[in-house]
Structure 1
């Protein structure tokens, strides 16, 4: 079945729930067993109700749905996107290991690597996401993971995931991929050699800016290690939040189509603005990553970047402070539009980020595009008046 059908059917079974279309929210801590043998035989695992921290049928329904949608061998939920990153790295790494990380990753990923991993004796190096040969040059006998995010969530470079996976696998390393931007609908990671994906389900999978969740998917061989790692860390997720993400899945395909269409229209409009030096959006033919994006991705979400021509901090503040529809907030992927300043030059170590002027990150929501453009036009007028 196609994705539009899968998102409406996965994770529900009316025949098992008295004909009810949506699965119920099942909350639990203690699970009772009918006999001592059943109690002692029960082991936590996918679909096994053993103790509330390991999940309930609501949790398992979401995990099965996301794993199927992404083409994975299994999935496990945790309390946040950052939790998904931490759980994955701690489950798959130990003291003495080495990890290679793309230089454009989400800042909390870099923070985890530079602090938590190094403290536990894991060596960390970064590489240019546009130079797969740097992965080959950086591999060591003890390299266990190559970690990718494509497009990067601030600067939106597109990495040749297939080539990186070939290099990593030839040396016995796993490829971990952050698929939050594209979601399982717009990028199929396991068709490109990825072994593990992390998602901030807080973003598009949740879609309504009202929950925190992370999801990790993997190949069948790796899934038991990841689930055990989550259990070792004592991570769990709320059945209510799992139910909300299940409900949000039903509209994921139509939401993403709207985010993509509106995002591309606004990106093209921004290209014509005299205040804008360049737009960072891989779906635009002029973008350096467009050919790879077109080869590997099925679509684009509503998140992209732009570089302004030289402008003062006060002028940028005047623009952003007066926005009516574009809010300022650190998340994205909800129905509402967002616009924030970004500073990629402060989070690089293997590459140098140079721009003509200030950088902004925009998330195009589900509002009427004409109203969003009017809001941006007024913002540019304030930017010019304050220059």
Structure 2
């Protein structure tokens, strides 16, 4: 069986996608021309087959190639492409949910996902219950209701980086109510370091904007499904008009070719910086899944084959507005920006009171300022010097 390093290079490069070139062709079209009524009727009959031309919204050769790559990489049977990661999450949810249903969601999920459930789905008479990301099976079982339709997971969790016990959670769900659909936001591992479908998850979701595109110059979302969910996911997503343009699909395919080597460098740089931060006197805790200080670290060791460049750390004190500005505004290499996964290093800060509204009560055990960083491909010593200067600026202000 091919290793995934090899799959990243070879997947989606069948001659029917490349026409004899190295890369898949970029096919831009809205209309697909049929030579006869018989051919048109056959196309209508086969319109849900993922590598048959029918209409531009259903995909072109460029899309078929990327879908095939994602299916191979995440061990699925089908893949839907979306214009961004949030669209992948929300439209996958909409593909399976009905008015009157109930959703269980980890309290560490991506904030837009939580807001979508809290505000948008609430208007459709769909209730959501949030749970502690480190919940154990028995406690989760008690939260499953007769109308629970979806369980939404994210591991590691957004911002606070808890690693969930996915096999135990899935086992508990299947034992209590086997028809529940389990979704997992798998963006942090890029579908490489954590094989969600192999762990019993039904659909692995990614913001391919992050590591798959890899250069902060395009947006795409992916949903890779197992067999039992594929037909419904595909049909419902097509009905909702979800698609991505051919050029972005091509950029995502190109990004896959260097994904592994980029991820390994992000991992190396990230660990280098994380270990340095763990020894810094101003830092209370480093939330990096590969460090023992991170909640759920034991599950990371068991279930993941590597780590990426995104993690957070908690300062021992809560910074005031002056300190925040003095800390964040003057970095040389860390830029203030949303998203992550590109070649550049990024930084964002959160006060604990900003996290409380989107987290289950009692799951935040810190009072200091939380700093989320994405460690890019710069030399890690330059990044450490940048962070060191920033922490020194805080200390200077404290001593005045």
| RMSD of aligned alpha carbons | 1.3
Provide the C-alpha distance between the structure 1 equivalents of 2:299 and 2:200, rounded to a whole number of angstroms: 15
Provide the C-alpha distance between the structure 1 equivalents of 2:362 and 2:153, rounded to a whole number of angstroms: 15
1:146-180: CA deviations, max 9, x gaps?
A: 11001102101111101110111221212111100
1:105–1:148 Cα contact (<8 Å) kept: yes
Provide the C-alpha distance between the structure 2 equivalents of 1:205 and 1:185, rounded to a whole number of angstroms: 10
Provide the C-alpha distance between the structure 1 equivalents of 2:371 and 2:259, rounded to a whole number of angstroms: 26
- Aligned partner of 2:94 in structure 1 is 90
Provide the C-alpha distance between the structure 1 equivalents of 2:309 and 2:121, rounded to a whole number of angstroms: 32
Displacement of 1:19 in angstroms is 2.7
Residue 16 to residue 280, structure 1, CA distance change in 2 (3 Å): closer
1:97–1:122 Cα contact (<8 Å) kept: yes
Provide the C-alpha distance between the structure 2 equivalents of 1:89 and 1:100, rounded to a whole number of angstroms: 12
> Given the alignment of the two structures, is residue 107 of structure 1 paired with residue 111 of structure 2, yes or no?
yes
Displacement of 1:221 in angstroms is 2.1
Q: Write out aligned runs for 1:239-250 (5 A).
A: 239-250=246-257
> Given the alignment of the two structures, is residue 127 of structure 1 paired with residue 131 of structure 2, yes or no?
yes
Match of 2:155 among 150, 154, 158: 150
TM-score by length of 2: 0.94
Match of 1:319 among 318, 324, 327: 327
2:165–2:296 Cα contact (<8 Å) kept: no
1:103–1:350 Cα contact (<8 Å) kept: no
Question: Runs of 5+ in structure 2 lacking a partner?
Answer: none
Displacement of 1:345 in angstroms is 2.3
- Aligned partner of 1:368 in structure 2 is 379
Provide the C-alpha distance between the structure 2 equivalents of 1:68 and 1:245, rounded to a whole number of angstroms: 15
Match of 2:67 among 63, 69, 81: 63
> May I ask how many residue pairs the two structures share in their alignment?
387
Where 2:228 maps in the other structure, the secondary structure is: coil
- Aligned partner of 1:164 in structure 2 is 169
> Given the alignment of the two structures, is residue 73 of structure 1 paired with residue 39 of structure 2, yes or no?
no
Match of 1:334 among 325, 342, 348: 342
- Aligned partner of 1:21 in structure 2 is 22
2:188–2:308 Cα contact (<8 Å) kept: yes
Provide the C-alpha distance between the structure 1 equivalents of 2:84 and 2:190, rounded to a whole number of angstroms: 16
Question: Runs of 5+ in structure 1 lacking a partner?
Answer: none
1:47–1:60 Cα contact (<8 Å) kept: yes
2:73–2:192 Cα contact (<8 Å) kept: yes
> Given the alignment of the two structures, is residue 215 of structure 1 paired with residue 222 of structure 2, yes or no?
yes
Higher alpha-carbon deviation: 6-15 or 211-220: 6-15
Displacement of 1:42 in angstroms is 1.5
Provide the C-alpha distance between the structure 1 equivalents of 2:384 and 2:11, rounded to a whole number of angstroms: 36
1:84–1:214 Cα contact (<8 Å) kept: yes
TM-score by length of 1: 0.97
Provide the C-alpha distance between the structure 2 equivalents of 1:280 and 1:193, rounded to a whole number of angstroms: 26
Where 1:42 maps in the other structure, the secondary structure is: helix
Displacement of 1:380 in angstroms is 1.2
